[in-house]
Amino acid sequence: MSTNEKLSLLVCGGAGYIGSHMARMIAEAGHQVTVFDNLSTGHSEALKWGRFIKGDLRNPEDIERAFDGSSYDAVFHFSALIVVSESVEKPFDYYDNNVTGTMNLLQAMRRHSVNSFVFSSTAAVYGDPVMDMISEEHPLAPLNPYGRSKLFIEQILQDYATAYGLNSVRFRYFNAAGAHPDGTIGEAHNPETHLIPNILLSSIDQGRRLKIFGQDYPTPDGTCVRDYIHIQDLCSAHLAAVDYMSRNNGTHCFNLGNGQGFSILEVIDAASEVIGRKIQYDFEPARAGDSPRLVADSSRALKELGWKPAYADLREIIETAYRWHKSPAY
């Protein structure tokens, strides 16, 4: 199996932010794509590529409909609840969706002998950083149920590789950002909790002031530092993972980030330059479960996957997001 051949790929969560960009990239690379999504947080307007099956991973019968009569070369799994603070308040929802849902999906894969899985994990599995640049060897100590839900699945994938020979790539995303450069699909969460969209929305809707959560973190300016990686770069790594699994059995994990940390105030400055206007903000208490600094050492993905991010400049990433947010299609 290689991306030089025409593949059939299942994208769970393909109506969401990362999943819709992935479905598009798969289709544009000439492969066949099937999207499975319950549309709880995804958007039907983003379903422009491939076949769509509406269903919920918590219902095994729904998943069976996606597998029945189809044969997939690999499964990409983007369906998850992702809001750190919400996971602290609603742990059942997070474990039910993110853990039980994934277990059901893996069962269906076993039943239908689909043996390649790309899992969206997160930098939140690391918790408080004990090194400046976080490599995959960093201790795993998630600070919240969201991070734990992802780590549990990572551990399950290790057991499945040993017992059932399931091949998988686990991607630990740092902060996904930006939108497709043509501005027709982008990031649209409701409510929006992510920094870059909230900065842009506050500049577009002048009545909406940006809140900065926490100003006393142990960072140079007291605000949290993150590593922003463009959505198209995240997606290109997933296609590389399919090739990688055809050459390497077992389970493998890779960080996906740019390797550059930006504080919230630095992101605001970069966004002001892109927009050509100052951003008004207020400081609020820190959010529960936030880590002060998450910056990736992605050298393993660069070397082993032959992955090369195309968007290294934060301003360029914000520009693509701004293009989308000025006139979002949904």
Residues lying near ligand UFG in the complex (CB under 6 A): 82, 84, 122-124, 146, 174-175, 193-195, 198, 211-213, 224, 226, 264, 287, 290, 294
316, two tokens: 């360029």
311 is catalytic: no
How far CA 156 is from CA of 67, 98, 105, in Å, comes to 21, 12, 13
Nearer to ligand UFG, 116 or 198 (CB): 198
Nearer to ligand UFG, 195 or 242 (CB): 195
DSSP readout, 190-244?
SS---HHHHHHHHHHSTT--EEEE-S-SSSTTSS-EE-EEEHHHHHHHHHHHHHH
Give the CB-nearest residue to ligand UFG.
224
CB of 194 to ligand UFG, least distance (A): 4
CB of 293 to ligand UFG, least distance (A): 10
Nearer to ligand UFG, 34 or 144 (CB): 144
| Marked catalytic residue, from 146, 228, 244, 311 | 146
CB of 251 to ligand UFG, least distance (A): 20
CB of 108 to ligand UFG, least distance (A): 25
Exposure string (b/e) for 246-276, b if CB count within 10 Å is 16 or more?
A: beeeebbbbbbbbbbbbbbbbbbebbeebbe
- Taking the alpha carbons at both ends of the chain, their separation in whole angstroms is 36
Contact predicate 177/196, CB 8 Å: yes
Q: What is the largest CA-CA distance in the chain?
A: 56
Note the Cα 305 to chain centre separation in Å: 18
Nearer to ligand UFG, 43 or 226 (CB): 226
Catalytic residues: 146
